[in-house]
Chains A and B, each alone.
Chain A
């Protein structure tokens, strides 16, 4: 699976949008971009995933660049409960039941 690069940490004011970037310049055509988050001392939580089109669900939006070498996870109105480590993971078609490989992630701190 392709390697990802994320900033170590970011801050965001409550109520503002949190934009978390991820670089995956070696991504191949059959690899998806996944985002998980891990609140302190809890198990990871799935957020969203996409292949090449932008995706949106009740938690977040995922914007993937046209060349697919980077993506941005957007939390439209961050709250204190969104403080967590966010992991960007690239993996092959989930239909092949591939493993999840977690990197170091971005520690997002949402402040008042």
Chain B
């Protein structure tokens, strides 16, 4: 149980274009999802917390107009990197809570999406 998927697993896009990353909870309904970013050889950094049906809460220093988060359903959150630049190249990871599960406040992580902006 508590499986989280991401799509795509990797993507290459040109500078200036936008790219959307999906995060899905496959066997549970997730009222809260999180988006992290991880640069090479660095740790995960929380970007934002996404609550179903409401606006995301962004961490300090994360541009909300550049990283658009939509959590329109209980099983899907999307992160859109708008006007991507090479410095946005990173490993993007989502996680979700399973409020109906054995550990309702634990985070279950997706496999990550590697974004390369050329």
Q: Say yes or no for A29: interface residue by CB 8 A criterion.
A: no
Please count how many residues in chain A sit with their CB below 8 Å of the partner chain's CB atoms: 19
Tell me, rounded to whole Å, the shortest Cβ–Cβ distance linking B42 to chain A.
8
Name A83-102 residues within 8 Å CB distance of B: 87, 94-97, 99-102
User: From DSSP, what is the main secondary structure of chain B's interface residues?
Assistant: strand
Q: Say yes or no for A104: interface residue by CB 8 A criterion.
A: yes
Interface residues on B, range: 20 to 34
Tell me, rounded to whole Å, the shortest Cβ–Cβ distance linking A91 to chain B.
10
Docked Cα-Cα span, A102 to B36, in Å, equals 10
User: CB < 8 Å: which of A43, A101, A102 contacts B110?
Assistant: A43
Tell me, rounded to whole Å, the shortest Cβ–Cβ distance linking B61 to chain A.
14
Residues 15-38 of chain B: 1 if any A CB is under 8 Å from the residue's CB, otherwise 0? 000000000000000001010100
A99 engages B46 (CB within 8 Å): yes
Name B64-109 residues within 8 Å CB distance of A: 91, 93, 95, 97, 103, 105-109
B→A interface (CB under 8 Å): 4, 6, 32, 34, 36, 42-46, 49, 91, 93, 95, 97, 103, 105-112, 114
11 contacts between A and B (CB under 8 A): A41-B112, A43-B109, A44-B109, A87-B43, A94-B106, A97-B32, A100-B34, A101-B46, A102-B44, A104-B42, A104-B43
